[in-house]
Every structure is written in structure tokens, then in C-alpha cells.
């Protein structure tokens, strides 16, 4: 009996996002706007991992995530790893840092916030307070914990 294994082809040029928590994979796909990406995309979820029990992985061919885009990931998966691949080699290993400001991607949970009543894009100021990452709405000034942030 031959063993069939899923072969995830090595990437020639592009971006590999590894060590995504399994429950964050699809959020990451949405966050990075990959649903509309028309290049080759490989997505794996619930894969075995030494570092974490189950992980997700995204391989994006022929697209190099900017630092700004990678840092958006820090919002939902701070321990994810982003590798930029050029010519089959890891050209850059990127550590994620939380941006200080996040525009448009997170919803404000305050029903009385102007962003939930008028055509106004959301904006949050990100702070790390003794290890707890908080998002403060630029408009209504209410704070949300990073874990509770809802994507739009």
C-alpha cells in the first residue's frame, strides 16, 4: 500500500506564513485580502507542529507581503512567522511587531460609536500594557483587548 501524503510544493518566490494558530488561519486569509488573490495560494490547516499542537500555514506565490501587511497579522497571530522566499531560498525571516495604529480592519464593539452609525472608517491605537494588548478606538475612546477584537 502506498502512503499518500499531501505534498506542499516548495515556493520559488513569495511569502510563507507559518505557525498560525489553527483557529486563526481563515481570519488571517481575510485580513490579508487573500480571498481575492488570483495567484497561486496554498493553505493548510490543523497540521502537526512541534512548536504548537496544530498549526496553519499559508504559502503565497509571487507576492511579497509588506512589513505593514505582516504587522497586521500581529493583531491576531503575534507568534506567526513570516518568511520571504526568493529563488527557493529564505531571503528574509520577519518578526511581527504590532502596529501602533490599525485602520479599517477591526470593528468597534461599542454600539454607540460613530463608526457604527455614520460612514466613518475605524481606527484604533494599539498599546501593550504590561503584556495585555489593548486597542483604543480613536473616536469613542473605548478600549478592547486584542483577543476580543472583531474583524470587519
Partner 1 sequence: MSSLVSISDYTRDEIMEILDRAAEFEKNPNQRTLEGKVVATLFFEPSTRTRLSFETAANRLGARIIGFSDASTSSTSKGETLHDTIQMVSNYADVIVMRHYIEGAARYASEVSRVPIINAGDGANQHPSQTLLDLYSIRKTQGTLNDLTICMAGDLKFGRTVHSLIQAMYYFNPTFRFIAPKELRMPDEYKLFCHRHGIRYEECTELDAHFDDADILYMTRIQKERFLDLDEYERVKDVYSLHLRMLDHSKDTLRILHPLPRVNEIAQDVDQSPKAYYFQQAQNGLYVRQAIISKALGL
Interacting residues toward partner 1 by CB under 8 A: 110, 112-115, 117-120, 129, 137-143
Smallest Cα–Cα separation from 78: which of 144, 123, 128? 128
Q: Which is nearer to partner 1, 32 or 149 (CB)?
A: 149
For residue 120, the minimal CB distance to partner 1 (Å) is 5
Q: How many CB atoms lie within 10 A of CB 21?
A: 19
For residue 126, the minimal CB distance to partner 1 (Å) is 16
Q: Judging by beta carbons within 10 Å of its beta carbon (0-12, 13-18, 19+), is residue 6 exposed, middle or buried?
A: exposed
For residue 131, the minimal CB distance to partner 1 (Å) is 13
For residue 116, the minimal CB distance to partner 1 (Å) is 9
CA 94 to chain centre: 13
Q: Which is nearer to partner 1, 90 or 120 (CB)?
A: 120
**Alpha helix locations (H) across 51-100?**
67-76
Q: Which is nearer to partner 1, 91 or 120 (CB)?
A: 120
Amino acid at each position: 500500500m502506498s502512503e499518500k501524503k499531501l505534498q506542499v510544493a516548495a515556493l520559488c518566490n513569495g511569502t510563507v506564513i507559518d505557525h498560525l494558530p489553527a483557529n486563526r488561519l481563515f481570519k488571517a486569509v481575510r485580513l490579508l485580502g487573500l480571498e481575492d488573490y488570483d495567484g497561486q495560494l496554498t493553505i493548510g490547516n490543523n497540521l502537526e507542529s512541534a512548536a504548537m499542537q496544530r498549526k496553519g500555514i499559508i504559502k503565497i506565490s509571487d507576492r511579497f507581503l509588506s512589513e505593514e501587511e505582516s504587522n497586521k497579522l500581529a493583531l491576531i497571530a503575534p507568534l506567526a512567522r513570516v518568511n520571504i522566499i526568493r529563488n527557493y531560498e529564505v531571503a528574509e525571516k520577519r518578526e511581527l511587531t504590532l502596529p501602533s495604529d490599525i485602520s479599517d480592519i477591526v470593528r468597534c464593539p461599542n454600539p454607540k460609536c460613530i463608526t457604527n452609525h455614520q460612514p466613518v472608517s475605524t481606527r484604533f491605537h494599539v498599546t501593550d500594557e504590561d503584556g495585555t494588548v489593548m486597542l483604543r478606538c480613536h473616536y469613542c475612546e473605548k478600549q478592547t483587548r486584542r483577543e476580543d477584537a472583531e474583524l470587519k
